[in-house]
A = this chain, B = another copy of it.
Amino acid sequence: METIELSLSDIRKLTFDILITQGCDKKNASSISQIITDAERDGCESHGLFRLPGYIASLQSGKANGRAEPKLTTKSPVIIEVDGQKGFAPIAHEVGLPRLVSAAKTFGVAALSLRHILHFAALWPETEYLARNDLVGMACTSYLPKVAPHGTKSALFGTNPISFAWPRKDNHPICFDMATSSTALGNVQIAAREGKLVDEGIGLNKLGEHTRDPAEIIQGMLLPFGGYKGSALSLMVELLSAGLTGDFFGFESEAQNHDDGGPALGGEFIVAYSPSMISGEEWPEHTESFIRRFKSLDGAYLPGERRYAKRRDEGTRKINKALYDTIMKLN
């Protein structure tokens, strides 16, 4: 694979400039270019520049609003709703997350219901933000149907990711962010681009038959991870991020989607807990005793560590040359 090298500030500026060219205002362009740069910084290739053509597609089709001014309302002291006004998720987070932090610190638990957003990024930025404010964070969002519920041969669920972050006093948060599908669709798209087969159990072709060909899976569907248990969790994500927010289920989003290849309209549900209030001030020492035990096991991996390791490297990032060329044509 031919690559080029870009610095993180190059990535941010390139992305920002393209988004401005495509009609975003500065606040929207800034929040999206930051989230894309953060993904490249952390080695999350599938959520970095790889996503930019999709963002642009949703702007060009008129589905996404690049000048969104999200509206915040409080339904109770601990229920915050942000209407993203059909903008991308990052600017809605900028409006909602600080208020979520404040409510969770005051009352011990609070929830942020996001509606009318287009979420095309990873979810760890929002849960990591909560954990860096000494809160436990959980977030989930649904997406266009691409996953067959366990036992079926038809896509109904999205890849429906869940993210969770646990705060640590003198360390990066523990933080995972995972699709409830066998893998993220971005990974299958990258395998297709690179001409590689994927593992058995990742997905089905459009007839509902097992296949290892990523191109066939893109035409067909993914499977949930972990059989019926992962399928139940994917159902939970669909219910929380659509049923509970009141926004689109994946199949509803699909029914009115512009089919532009970009992200779709939907909701996201985020909850934050204050361990200081729930457990008391001794929570950091108590939990560190467990983390030490965990890390003492041969082969144990604390979620988030690979990202933080990549993050320590402030140098250039290798970018797929074909992707770069595609992006430059958008400018």
Contact = CB atoms under 8 A, between A and B. Distances in A.
Contact of A226 (B149, B225, B249, B277): B225
Contacts of A72: none
A166 interface: yes
Interface in A287-301: 287, 289-290, 293-294, 297-301
A107 B299 contact: no
A252 to B, nearest CB: 8
A156 B176 CA distance: 19
The A interface, classified by DSSP as helix, strand, loop or mixed, is mixed
A275 interface: yes
Interface stretch (A76-84, A256-264, A320-328): A76-84
Given A178-B229, A232-B178, A287-B239, A152 B299 contact: yes
Contacts of A242: 286, 290
A108 B226 CA distance: 32
Contacts of A315: none
A280 B246 contact: yes
Interface residues of A, number: 70
Contacts of A78: 78, 107-109
Nearest to A273: B244
Given A150-B301, A240-B136, A293 B156 contact: yes
A65 interface: no
20 contacts: A78-B107, A79-B108, A79-B277, A109-B109, A109-B271, A111-B273, A149-B294, A149-B297, A152-B298, A152-B299, A164-B236, A225-B226, A225-B230, A226-B226, A235-B294, A242-B286, A243-B286, A246-B279, A249-B293, A251-B290
